Chains A and B, each alone.
Chain A
Amino acid sequence: GAVVSQHPSWVICKSGTSVKIECRSLDFQATTMFWYRQFPKQSLMLMATSNEGSKATYEQGVEKDKFLINHASLTLSTLTVTSAHPEDSSFYICSASRTGSFQPQHFGDGTRLSIL
């Protein structure tokens, strides 16, 4: 199998708080992990590509100082939403793929973030 665990599954916090989301590949090593954002009834929007041991690559329009990504090991990447505001409320999903050419991405169960 290829299991990806994401934690927490949902979080509610006050405006101005920083929130950390973890993404773990449980039964395989993932050189590359991906962070997506999904709005209701829409497709997944790639935010950034997380590479183990190096800086993340952010998509155009995504603020790297707002969404901090750390990929310190082959099984863990974290996304920190800094000084979150209501407009950051969304469904955040991570994925991971095995090392190798064109491997499928396997997704976590997502994190529902609600900023009050």
Chain B
Amino acid sequence: GQQLNQSPQSMFIQEGEDVSMNCTSSSIFNTWLWYKQDPGEGPVLLIALYKAGELTSNGRLTAQFGITRKDSFLNISASIPSDVGIYFCAGHAPNSGGSNYKLTFGKGTLLTVNP
């Protein structure tokens, strides 16, 4: 099946720094989604991308859908302590259609922000 390679696996940064993480795949995706998961909770949708080349912002977060449809990045500017958590990329592959629309997930990036 299709896989998403997410990097880095973990990051330790100082408050105020900018952060960048990305996901790549050997095959194309129709959508790219970025989620954040806090401990003991379900993932929360941060940004959804639907078109190749699309660049979307949500507050301090910016994400882009790669032009080749095989990659996406998420940037967080001016990090704050509450940005701590696990960030997952996910995407809909072209063959996941029908009525199911299953998502493929990356393995996550654990972000730690030191105050």
In the complex, are the beta carbons of B108 and A107 less than 8 A apart?
A: no
Q: How large is the interface on B (under 10, 10 to 19, 20 to 34, 35 or more residues)?
A: 20 to 34
In the complex, are the beta carbons of A104 and B45 less than 8 A apart?
A: yes
Which A residues, 65 to 105, have Cβ-Cβ distances below 8 Å to chain B?
A: 91, 93, 95, 97, 101-105
CB-CB under 8 A from B102, the residues of chain A are: 34, 46, 49
- A53-75 Cβ-contact flags toward B at 8 Å (1 or 0): 00001000000000000000000
CB-CB under 8 A from B85, the residues of chain A are: none
Name the residue in B30, B41, B48 with the highest tally of chain A Cβ atoms < 10 Å from its Cβ: B41
Q: How far is the CA of A77 from the CA of B79 in the complex (A)?
A: 37
In the complex, are the beta carbons of B42 and A101 less than 8 A apart?
A: no
* Count of interface residues, chain A, beta-carbon cutoff 8 Å: 29
Q: How far is the CA of A57 from the CA of B101 in the complex (A)?
A: 12
B35, B40, B101: the one contacting A103 at CB < 8 Å is B101
Which B residues, 39 to 68, have Cβ-Cβ distances below 8 Å to chain A?
A: 40-45, 48, 50
| Chain A-chain B contacts (Cβ-Cβ < 8 Å), number | 61
B48, B90, B97, B108: the one contacting A101 at CB < 8 Å is B97
Q: Counting CB contacts under 8 A, is A44 at the interface?
A: yes
- A14-43 Cβ-contact flags toward B at 8 Å (1 or 0): 000000000000000001101000000111
CB-CB under 8 A from A107, the residues of chain B are: 35, 42-45
CB-CB under 8 A from B99, the residues of chain A are: 31-32, 51
Q: List residues of chain B with CB under 8 Å of any chain A CB.
A: 30-31, 33, 35, 40-45, 48, 50, 88, 90, 92, 97, 99-103, 105-108, 110
Of the A-B pairs whose beta carbons lie under 8 Å apart in the complex, a sample of 23, sorted by A's number, is: A4-B42, A6-B42, A31-B99, A32-B100, A34-B103, A43-B88, A43-B105, A44-B43, A49-B100, A49-B102, A51-B99, A57-B100, A93-B43, A101-B97, A101-B101, A102-B92, A102-B101, A105-B33, A105-B103, A107-B35, A107-B42, A107-B45, A110-B42
Q: A93-B42, A107-B35 are in contact. List 11 more A-B contacts (CB 8 A).
A: A2-B45, A32-B100, A42-B107, A42-B108, A43-B105, A49-B100, A51-B100, A102-B101, A104-B31, A104-B33, A105-B33
